[in-house]
Amino acid sequence: MAQPPLLSLQNIQLTFGGTRLLEAADLIVSPGDRIALVGRNGSGKSTLLKIAAGMIQHDAGIRFAEPSATIRYLPQEPDLSAFATTLAYVEGGLAPGDDPYRAQYLLEALGLSGQENPATLSGGEGRRAALARVLAPQPDVLLLDEPTNHLDLPVIEWLQAELSAMRSAMVLISHDRRFLSDLSRATVWLDRGVTRRLDKGFGAFEGWRDEVLELEEKERHKLDRQIVREEHWLRYGVTARRKRNVGRLERLAGLRQDRREQRRSVGAVNLVASEGRTSGALVSEAEAISKSFGTRTVVRDFSTRILRGDRVGIVGPNGAGKTTLIKLLTGLLEPDSGTVKLGAALEMAMLDQGRARLDPDTRLKDALTGGGSDTLTINGESRHVVGYMKDFLFTPEQANTPIGRLSGGERARVALARALALPSNFLVLDEPTNDLDLETLDLLEEMVSDYAGTVVVVSHDRDFLDRVATSVIMAEGNGNWLEYAGGYSDMVAQRGGGVSARVSEKQPRAEKPKAAAAGQPSPTAKRKLSFKEKHALETLPKDIARLDAEIEALNAALADADLYARDPNAFASKSKALEAAAARKAAAEDQWLDLEMLREALEG
C-alpha cells in the first residue's frame, strides 16, 4: 500500500504578466522520493518549487503539506543579512530537538568555519552556508534549486554522498546530469506549463522525452490532416444540399480551436561557432612552466602540448589556479620560469566564467554587435542581429533589453552568442555550463565536438567533460598538474580518485607524511581530534544501530515467500535497499573503527 504524500501540488495554475506560466502542474512527494524536476530555462521550475515551499501563492489548484512534515527549501540566491555569522544563520534553521552538532559539522564539511561575516561572503560561500542550513535539520522534504551552482567538484561529490545517505524525500533542480542521474528515482518534466511524471530516474528521461515529443508531432500531423478533410467536404460536398451540415461545421470549428490551443515545444538554441582560418598543427606548447603569487606556487614545472583538434579539460578545486593555467597556456600571462610557445595563425575566442565582459547597462543587440550596427558576420555571412538573437531563443522585443534585466540563463546564452560570433580556431570556455538548461547543454556538447578548431574548457560538470574532452589536466595540489588521456571518468580510473579539496601549500597532496624518526614523537601526538571527528565518534554508533534496524526490517519483508510473485517491483526495490543499507553499515563501521584507533593513538 502506497504511503500518503508528504507534499502535494495538484492542477497548479499561475499567470505572470498576462502569460500563463503554469497551466496544469502536479507534484506529488511521498516519503523516500528522489525526484528530478526538469524543463527548459523559463519553463517555471523554480516557481513551482517556490509554490511547493509555500513562498508563492498560486492562482488555482491545490497545495497540501502534511502538517507534521518538515520542509526545507534551498533558494538560488540566499539572504544571510539578518545574521551575524554563518553559524548563527545555519542554527537559525534548526528546530527544537534537532542535532545542534550538525550545523558546525556541515559548515566545516563545506569549507566554512562558522565565524564568517555574511556581509563579506562570496556567492559560492553564501551558497555553501545555505546548503548547511537546509541539510542540518534532516527534514522530511528537501526542495533544492540548483544545489551545485558555484560549487567545485570536491564539494559536489561530498554533497552527492551526503544526500544519498539522508532519508529525506527530495525534489532536485540541477543542470548537472551526473548529479541528477545518481540521485533521482523519478523525474517530473515541466513543459509548456504542464507536468508529466516518469517513475524512473533522470538517466531514463531524455529517451522518454524524445518519444513523447515524437508522439505529439504525429498527433499534430493527424489533426492537421483531419482539418484538411473537413475543409474539403465544406467546399466540395454534395452539391444538391442547400444547407451545410451544422454538426460538421461545429466539428471543424472545434478542430481548429484544438489546433490553435496546441502549444509547440520551445525551439532549440542554434549553436554554430564562427570558424576562422585553420591554425597550425601546434596550438600551444608549455615547457617546464612555473608561476607563483607571493609565497604560493600555483603552477610548478608543468609541461604539455596542445595540438589542433584537441579538446582539453582542466579540473581542480576552487582556488587551485585553473584560470591562471589557462592564461599561461594562451599567452595572456607570462610564466616565472619555463616557456610557452603558441602556434601560427591562432584566432582565440574566450567565454569567461563570471560573464564579466557583459555590461549590465548595455542593450542586448549592442552586446552582440558591439554597437553602432544591426548586423554581424557569422562564418563570412552577414546576419541581422534579430535573426541571430532568435538562434539563442531571444524574441525581437528583447533587442533593447539591458543585459542586467536578463535572467542568469539568458545572460549565459548572451555570453555564448558573443563568444561564438567571433571568428576563431581556438575556443577557451571557462565554466560554460553554468545556468544552461539541459537541452542547451546537449547542443553545446555537439558544437564543441563538431568544432573544427581546438577547445580548452574548465568545468565542474563531470558528464560534460566525459562527453567532450580528449584529455584532462588535473590539479594535484601544491602547484602540481598532471594530464590524463580521456574524459573525467577516465581520469578517475587512471588516478584512483576524483578531485580533492585544495590542501595546504606546505605538503603536496601526493606526498604522505614521513614516518617519525626513532625517539621522536609521532605527528599524531601533536594534534587533537577535530570537531568533525569527535562528532562522528559520537553519532556513528547510533547510525549503525539505525542501519541494523533497517536491515532487519528489510530482511523480514524479503522473507515473505509470496512477495516476488505478488509485487516484483517491491521485491526488487527492497533488495536494492538492503544492499545499499548493508554497504552504508560496512562503511560506517570501518569509519568508526579508524576513528577509534586514532583516538586511542592520540590519547597515548
DSSP, collapsed to helix, strand or coil, labels residue 14 as strand
Select the highest-mean-pLDDT range: 12-21, 396-405, 476-485, 572-581: 476-485
pLDDT of residue 560: 78
**What is the separation of C-alpha 109 from the centre of its chain, rounded to a whole number of angstroms?**
20
Confidence of residue 436 (pLDDT cuts 50, 70, 90): confident
Flag whether 268 is in a domain: no
pLDDT of residue 460: 87
Q: List beta partners, residue 197.
A: 188
The number of domains in the chain is 4
Please write the tens of the pLDDT for every residue from 259-315: 555 554 455 556 666 666 677 889 999 999 999 988 889 999 999 999 999 999 999
Flag whether 511 is in a domain: no
Shared domain for 341 and 471, answered yes or no, is yes
Shared domain for 299 and 250, answered yes or no, is no
Shared domain for 129 and 222, answered yes or no, is no
Residue 220 near residue 262 (C-beta atoms within 8 A): yes
Shared domain for 203 and 286, answered yes or no, is no
Shared domain for 316 and 389, answered yes or no, is yes
Residue 372 near residue 329 (C-beta atoms within 8 A): no
Shared domain for 300 and 361, answered yes or no, is yes
Confidence of residue 525 (pLDDT cuts 50, 70, 90): very low
pTM: 0.68
Query: How much is the average pLDDT of 534-555?
Result: 83
Q: How far apart are the C-alpha atoms of 41 and 38, rounded to whole Å? A: 9
Alpha carbons within 13 angstroms on the beta-carbon side of residue 161 total 12
Q: Which residue has the cell 563579506?
A: 120
DSSP, collapsed to helix, strand or coil, labels residue 25 as strand
Count of helix runs (H) and strand runs (E) in the chain:
18, 20
Could you give the angle at the alpha carbon of 157 between the alpha carbons of 153 and 162, nearest 5°?
A: 145
Hey, how many other C-beta atoms are within 10 angstroms of the C-beta on 134?
23
Q: How far apart are the C-alpha atoms of 1 and 18, rounded to whole Å? A: 42
Q: Give me the CATH number covering residue 197.
A: 3.40.50.300
Shared domain for 200 and 115, answered yes or no, is yes
Flag whether 178 is in a domain: yes
Flag whether 356 is in a domain: yes
Name the strand (E) or helix (H) holding 24. Answer: strand 19-29
Q: Which residue has the cell 554497504?
A: 583
Q: How far apart are the C-alpha atoms of 417 and 422, rounded to whole Å? A: 9
Residue range of the domain that includes 74: 7-207
Flag whether 585 is in a domain: yes
Q: How far apart are the C-alpha atoms of 444 and 438, rounded to whole Å? A: 10
Q: List beta partners, residue 306.
A: 284
